[in-house]
A and B are shown apart, each in its own frame.
Chain A
Amino acid sequence: MAISIADLSKEELFGQGHAGCGGCGAAVAGRQAMKALGSRTIITIPASCMATLGGSNLKTTWQIPFYHTLFEMAPAVSSGIRAALEAQGIEDVNVVSWAGDAGTADIGFQSLTGAAERNEHMIHVCYDNEMYMNTGGQTGSQTPMYAITSNMSKGKAVKKKNMLAIMQAHEIDYVASASIAYPLDLIAKFKKAAEKPGFSYIHILAPCHRGWQIPAEKTIEYARLAVESGLFELYEVDEGVRNRTFEPTFIPVADYLTTQGRFKHLTSEQVVKLQKSINVYYGRGGDEE
């Protein structure tokens, strides 16, 4: 059933007055997700921009219980929160751990893989801005190949690790990618995840204009170009069944890449290579080199 924006909750559970930059993609992801999750939600967030912009002990933008965990452990803390709710017989609460790409794929990975293996009744969200923004934009495993970051002035030499495939390999209830440029697709995926009895993983592309060196007002636009070029596929794996949720129009990948400051040094050979790999992935002809 298609969702319409007019029917969404009018509650603003996250985002108003937040302490992050203007035009922050992570904040957009949080607002969209909370439209699906609703007020009966408890969220844990490890060190990251999202934790910082949530506020402090003194003031917060969150209207739901928000716990700022140490870096390595948001999914473990959420597992404990679920156990405590179960012990009290409370069933109608969504338990969420929400981490950046580092808090998910790198420093936070051991607690994530553990919680997924135990098939805990919770949702883990990775909001992916493809670098360690809260400490100044360093390279991590979710940084794409060639991207310039604050500690790699010549660009990253190796590929981005495929977190969605890694989480799919855990054979959990639900795995999905999402982009903040497609809010209704994102919201539908959160609603599905919230219904699952076990573990769900949602990976959101949430550009950071500072790290990506793009104008702030284009945060959503780049989240759309990544999908329309085919570089970031929107799909879900619902109890093992894979389904692409949006068919891209295949704009040239150069339109997405070369206007970003972090990719301005790309050579035309590198762009051609990336375009070819997209073509091969979608069966659109051309051989991978």
Chain B
Amino acid sequence: MVKNLPVVPTAKAGSLVETPTGITWRIQYPEILANCNICLECTLFCPDGAIVQQEGKLVLTLKLCKGCGICANECEENAIQMIPEYSGVKGVFR
């Protein structure tokens, strides 16, 4: 006898991208400075795919960023600055 297989609940591909996990944990965020030479190294070191290359440009998506600071630590040009989320007059959560 042929039985129907049970329907297994399956997540939609990439659905976590719409509701990123770590943004509310972030205590600092990166800012890319003008001296970036688009070497693209940071795009392979970011654990969250928050910095990626698009058409030869560097694109930072803050809603995916957990603020780990790896990009700033690795950039040989010192072209990324980490900025605290809560300090100073501009200390608002982005």
By secondary structure, the A interface counts as loop
What is B's interface to A at a CB cutoff of 8 Å? Answer: 8-22, 25-26, 39-41, 43-50, 52-54, 56, 64, 66-70, 72-74
Q: A15-B48, A27-B47, A27-B48 are in contact. Are A6 and B14 (CB under 8 A)?
A: no
Q: What is the bound-complex CA distance between A27 and B22, given in angstroms?
A: 13
Q: Are A17 and B21 in contact (CB under 8 A)?
A: yes
The chain B residue sitting closest to A15, CB to CB, is: B49
Q: Is the CB of A18 within 8 A of B16?
A: yes
Distance (Å) between the CB of A226 and the closest chain B CB? 15
Number of interface residues of A (CB under 8 A): 41
Count how many pairs of residues, one from A and one from B, have CB atoms less than 8 Å apart in the complex: 127
Contact A218 B73 (CB under 8 A): yes
Give the residues in chain B near A12, CB-CB below 8 Å.
49, 52
Contact A17 B16 (CB under 8 A): yes
- Contact (Cβ within 8 A) B14 A216: no
- Stretch of A55-63, A117-125, A233-241 lying at the B interface: A55-63
Which chain B residue lies CB-closest to A27?
B47
Give bound CA distance, A58 to B16, whole Å.
Answer: 9
A60 to B19 Cα, complex, angstroms:
10
Set of chain A residues within 8 Å of B13, measured between Cβ atoms = 60, 62-64
What mask results when residues 1 to 44 of chain A are scored 1 for a CB within 8 Å of chain B, else 0? Answer: 00001101010101111111111110110011001000000000
